[in-house]
Each structure stands twice: as C-alpha cells, then as structure tokens.
Structure 1
Amino acid sequence: MTAATAHEPERDPADVLLEGFYALEPPEGFRAELIEGEIIVTPPPRGDHESIIASINRQVIKGSAVDVDFSGNKGLLLDKGGLCVKNHLIPDGVFVPVRAYRGEGSWMPVDKVLMVVEVTSTKPERDRKSKRYCYARGGVPLYLLVDREIHSVTLFGEPGGAGDLIDYRQEVRVPFGKPLDLPSPFALTLDTAEFE
C-alpha cells in the first residue's frame, strides 16, 4: 500500500453502485433499472406484452375523465432502497397529466405520476413484490399490474404505512375478461378481455 492510497477516503458502496448504474450502456432496446440495490437489465418485450400495454393505453387515453399523457419509456426516481440508493425504475407504462413530462430529465420524480403499469414477463415476482413496494414507498397513487402467469389484473391504491411497512392499502383483482374500474382521476372501466 502506498502513502497515497493509505489516505484515500473509503468510498460509500451506494455511491459506487449508483456510479456503475449510470455508466451502463445496455444494448439497444434493453432496459437497465436499479431496484432495491440491484441492477437489473431486461431485454425488449415480446409482442403479446406490448399488445396489452397498447390496449391499456388506448382505453385510458380515450376513456379517461381527464386528459393524460402516456410513456412506455419514462424513468422514475423513487425512494431509497436497502443500500440508501434511490430506486430507478422504468415501468411498462406511466400516466401523468397532460404536459407533465415537459422539462423532466431522464429520471423524473413521481410527484406528477397518476398511475404506473407493469405487465409480467419472465420474472413476475419482481413486478408482484419489489416494484410494488418501490411504487408504494414512492407514493405512486395507483399501480396496475397485469399478471399474465395467473391471468389476472390487480389495481393497487392508497399507498401508506411507515418505515419498511409501506405498501398499498387497497387491492382489487379481477381475472382476465372481467371489467376493472379505475378510480378518479381516470373514472373509467378497463376492459381486460383483450389481455387473454
């Protein structure tokens, strides 16, 4: 050990993780997320997955009681994870009030988000648990989970609690084919028959 290295301050592991995450250059179409202190890289989704997202987008934009904008690529900056690193998630869908994306960087805070959407893929537990808790702790008012493995759609609402016990206090689940009511500000009934 040299004299120069003996006096270098020890780097915070959370800073090193975040620095590594920001330096990633995933292949085209892949998504890199930082969830609960773990870097996750996922491949582009398959057509059936995107068909469900397209259906939700069409229905919400057309039937919502308020004007909303949609993004399938928006990075969200949420609460701190286990290593005191803010979670960086890219939901399958994000609905915000019209023009709320203006002026936002690659990673926006969730204070303007009305609802996030996830459609399960190869690792459904991540959407069912890790992402759910991140969205609840971040204060995202509504989380719509389309679970293709168990053929159901779940709407989580009313995030609350304290400490590590923050979760959604309201949960409504319907099987594919049954309608699901989305509350205000959307105030519409989602037709899930197209998800089968």
Structure 2
Amino acid sequence: MTAMAHEPLTQEEVLLEGFLALDTPEGFRAELIEGDIVVTPPPDGEHEDYISLVLEQVLERSHTKMQFSGNKGLKLRSPLDILKDHVIPDGTFAPKALRLFRSGESWMPCTGVAMVVEVTSSKPSVDREQKRRSYARSGIPLYLLVDRGKSSVTLFSEPEDDDYRQHCRIPFGKHLTLPEPFGFDLDTSEFV
C-alpha cells in the first residue's frame, strides 16, 4: 500500500493555520485582517472608558434591546478568496432576541450583528481603514469609530463592497444620531 499524497497547503491556508495556533500573552488580541496578523496590547483605561460610555447609552436608550460582547471574535469576508478575516471588535451589538453570543465557538459569523465599535489604540490606521473595509465587505450595517487621535466619533453606514457609502463624523462633545434599531442620539459630551 502506498501513502496518499496530500495536496500542498496554499499560502493562505498556512497563514490561517498559523494564526489559529497563536498563543498570545494574557490581555493581548491577535486578529487576522486582510492577510495580516495584527497583535494589539491590552487596552488602557481611557480606551475602556469610551467603550463603557457607548455601552451604557446603548443599553439604556436603544429602541431595541441589545446584547453586547467585548471579546467575541467575528469571521468576516476577506479580499483573499480562501481566507476569512478574524476580527475581535472592541464592542459588538446585536438584538437581544437573536442570542447571537451563545455560540460556543471562539469565532462566529457576523450575521445579525447590528453595530461594531472600535476605539483607536496603538495602531489607529487598522481601525480607520482595514477594519472598516472588512466590516463593510461583510455587510455589518453600522460601524462606530471613536477616534482618540482625531477627538471625533464617526458612524459609518450603508455598507457596499469594500466600504461604507455614508459616514457622519462629529467632534467629541456633540451628539451623533444612531439609526434604528438603536434610534437615539449618542451623547459624546463625556468623551471630552
């Protein structure tokens, strides 16, 4: 009997296997975005405060009851055919009725996600560009970017292909309208 020859792995398959096998230090996040492995250190207190301020308002004021996850990984469409982007948003909101976060899987599909939130940190261009494209490509309806470097909040909406067709940017301290299923004005006065 002869051993069966296995097809060699493609570069994308090797990259995905290597990524999924990573063992990052506690608190660090490893993500696979547009073919690049991105490792970020634990967030600082200011970063977490911005997430907390958004979370509090969404849970209190949203027209639709929302669930929140700050550490659930999403499998998203990638420009590389065989590969999926593996992204861990700073915040993911989905209608509570869907119970999306009950999955025992580390990485879940993004179907049903209403909004993702990112707060810029050590690699702001990843949040401003690569993640924005990945979220749009995957059809996530709303992407809220809290940009500490620019002291602004931007809501991206109407995903189409690799980007969002609409965006509304406001400076910290103003109000930003979150459309349905949220249906309220996000107050950023405490962001200043």
Matches within 5 A, 1:40-189: 40-82=38-80, 84-98=82-96, 99-161=99-161, 166-189=162-185
Task: Say which SS state the counterpart of residue 101 (structure 1) adopts.
Answer: helix
Q: 1:97 to 1:104 in 2, by over 3 A?
A: farther
Whole-Å separation in 1 of the counterparts to 2:80 and 2:130: 11
Q: 1:104 to 1:142 in 2, by over 3 A?
A: farther
Q: Conserved in 1, the CA contact under 8 Å of 2:13 and 2:82?
A: no
Q: In structure 2, what residue type is equivalent to 1:42? A: T
Aligned residue-pair number: 187
Whole-Å separation in 1 of the counterparts to 2:100 and 2:17: 28
Across the aligned residues of Structure 1 and Structure 2, the Cα RMSD in angstroms comes to 1.4
Whole-Å separation in 1 of the counterparts to 2:181 and 2:59: 12
The CA deviation string for residues 48-107 of structure 1, in whole angstroms up to 9 with x for no partner, is 000000000000000000100101101000002336310000000000111221235111
Q: Conserved in 2, the CA contact under 8 Å of 1:37 and 1:83?
A: no
The CA deviation string for residues 132-179 of structure 1, in whole angstroms up to 9 with x for no partner, is 000000000000000000100000001014xxxx31011001000000
Q: TM-score, normalised by structure 2?
A: 0.93
Q: In structure 2, what residue type is equivalent to 1:186? A: F
Where has structure 1 moved over 6 Å in runs of 4 or more? none
* Larger mean Cα displacement after TM superposition, 166-175 or 82-91: 82-91
% identical equivalent positions: 57
Q: Conserved in 1, the CA contact under 8 Å of 2:31 and 2:88?
A: yes
Give 2:16's match in structure 1, choosing from 15, 18, 24. 18
Q: 1:194, CA displacement in angstroms?
A: 1.3
Q: 1:8, CA displacement in angstroms?
A: 5.7
Task: Say which SS state the counterpart of residue 40 (structure 1) adopts.
Answer: strand
Q: 1:104 to 1:157 in 2, by over 3 A?
A: farther
Unaligned runs of 5+ residues in structure 2 are none
Q: TM-score, normalised by structure 1?
A: 0.91
